[in-house]
Chain A
Amino acid sequence: AQSVTQLGSHVSVSEGALVLLRCNYSSSVPPYLFWYVQYPNQGLQLLLKYTTGATLVKGINGFEAEFKKSETSFHLTKPSAHMSDAAEYFCAVTRGGSARQLTFGSGTQLTVLP
């Protein structure tokens, strides 16, 4: 079985400050990891993904995440927050191979303060 824990259901940062959203996973096999963003009244948009290879992955809108196997973490970062980054962010995991369902974390609501 796999699971995802997102620490902090709400995170507030000032515009221009570092964004750090935490995600820890549990998986019995090498995981595939994802971050999705959800803007109000919209669907889930893929920010970035880790499957294999380079552990630092870059996504859209200046976000990146690093897969750390030893820490079972996949934290999302952005050096400088923008007002438009305000949204809910979901970390998700799948075990890869033939399995295709995603297991999501509870989400983190990011507020960007002017």
Chain B
Amino acid sequence: EPEVTQTPSHQVTQMGQEVILRCVPISNHLYFYWYRQILGQKVEFLVSFYNNEISEKSEIFDDQFSVERPDGSNFTLKIRSTKLEDSAMYFCASSEDGPYGYTFGSGTRLTVV
């Protein structure tokens, strides 16, 4: 069964550093997403991406965040200057069309120290 692959599974970074979280969506999917889950809290939507541009983003997705699909297979989330409160599990997801066919990756646990 096709999978969404996320790397690394766990990343530790110092406050103020830039991090890039990587995702390989399912190959024929057109819509890509990032969600995050702070420990003990809800899974929250960050951003959706379609046709090489952001289609929706939440209030959380401020200027410190950016997404990119650099090579037609990878989908990345960059946090420019990490804060302690960015510590969370970050999930990538992709879908062929809409939320009905979402597939989530296993997540990257980001720890900011």
- B31's nearest neighbour on chain A, judged by CB, is A100
- Please tell me if A42 contacts chain B, counting CB pairs below 8 Å: yes
Contact with A along B1-45 (1 / 0, CB 8 A): 000100000000000000000000000000101010000011111
- A51's nearest neighbour on chain B, judged by CB, is B100
**A99: which B residues are within 8 A, CB to CB?**
56
Count of A-B residue pairs with CB < 8 Å: 56
Interface of B (DSSP majority class) = strand
Distance of B68 from chain A, by nearest CB (Å): 19
Among A81-111, those with CB < 8 Å from B are 90, 92, 94, 96, 99-107
- Given A51-B100, A100-B99, A101-B56, A43-B91 contact (CB < 8 Å): yes
- Please tell me if A46 contacts chain B, counting CB pairs below 8 Å: yes
Say whether A101 contacts B91, CB under 8 Å: no
- A94's nearest neighbour on chain B, judged by CB, is B99
Residue of B43, B48, B93, B106 ringed by the most chain A CB atoms within 10 A: B43
Say whether B42 contacts A100, CB under 8 Å: no
- Given A43-B105, A43-B106, A45-B104, A100-B91 contact (CB < 8 Å): no
Q: Of B95, B104, B105, which is within 8 A of A100 by CB? A: B95
B contacts, CB < 8 Å to A: 4, 31, 33, 35, 41-45, 48, 55-56, 58, 91, 93, 95, 98-100, 102-107
